[in-house]
Structure 1
């Protein structure tokens, strides 16, 4: 386990970057032109970034990014 000390401004910047990345991944995951293998890797990345985002925000903020259904691989 690693620790990280951030100022309030730095914390807000990390939160913003994670939020933007989550939004971009959600957009890409909804694109039907992307292959299933790539989507699976994107889903794994989404879950990792989402876990980080949860540490920087309140429950009401991160609930907006909870995936309703997992990628089925079909």
Structure 2
């Protein structure tokens, strides 16, 4: 396990970067032109980013980015 000391501004920047990347992945997952294998890799990346995001964001913010079964069915 590793530790990390950051200030509030750095925390906000990390949250912003994670949100931006997760939004981009969610957008790309809806694209029918992208191959299923690529989408699976993108989904794995999303899971990693979301696990990092949970460490920084509030519960309310995490709920916005949770992937549910209903959302997965539309992809």
- The TM-score normalised by the length of structure 2 is 0.90
Residues 28-67 of structure 1 mapped to structure 2, 5 A cutoff: 28-67=28-67
Give the gaps of 5 or more residues in structure 1. none
Indicate if the aligned counterparts of 1:15 and 1:53 stay in contact, CA closer than 8 A. yes
For the 8 Å contact 1:39–1:71, the answer to whether it is kept is no
Give the length in aligned residue pairs: 72
* Distance in 2 separating the partners of 1:10 and 1:20: 15
1:68 Cα deviation after fit: 1.5
When the two structures are superposed, what TM-score results if normalisation uses the length of structure 1?
Answer: 0.91
What SS class does the counterpart of residue 53 from structure 2 fall into? helix
Find out whether 1:5 has 2:18 as its counterpart.
no
Where is the helix percentage greater, Structure 1 or Structure 2?
Answer: 2
Q: Give the Cα separation in 1 of the matches to 2:65 and 2:12.
A: 17
In structure 1, the partner of 2:68 is: 68
Residue-by-residue CA offset, 1:12-54 (whole Å, 9 max, x unaligned)? 0000000000000000011111000000000000000000001
